[in-house]
Amino acid sequence: MRFVVLIDGKPPNDARGLDVDERGAGTVSDERLYQLIREPGPITERTFEITFLDASAQVYVFTFGQRESSRINAAAEQGGDPQVE
């Protein structure tokens, strides 16, 4: 099942995850977690869009996370404990 992802209306290029190309194109082939976006720079507010190009797509869950180093840096900048649980 083919899909395309966009960030702020544009292909992800360097922000693509392991399961999409620089244009945002990917294919669902198994029931598993797919990495669609991997933001290389600072984490900022963005708009994420996914379009399924084939019929019968079912999506059960989306997860959004933050890299460990970003959480450590953010805690240190706020005067908190830089350890991540």
Q: What pLDDT, on a 0 to 100 scale, did the predictor assign at position 77?
A: 56
For residue 2, pLDDT over 90 is answered with yes
Residue 7 backbone phi and psi in degrees, to 5: -120, 120
- The residue ranges of every structural domain in the chain are 2-77
Q: In sequence order, what are the residues at sequence separation of 6 or more whose Cβ sits closer than 8 angstroms to the Cβ of residue 2?
A: 25, 26, 27, 28, 52, 53, 54
Quick one: pLDDT at residue 49?
93
* pLDDT tens by residue, 43-81: 888 899 999 998 877 777 777 776 555 554 554 555 554
Residue 81 half-sphere exposure toward CB, CA atoms < 13 A: 3
What's the confidence (pLDDT) of residue 41? 83
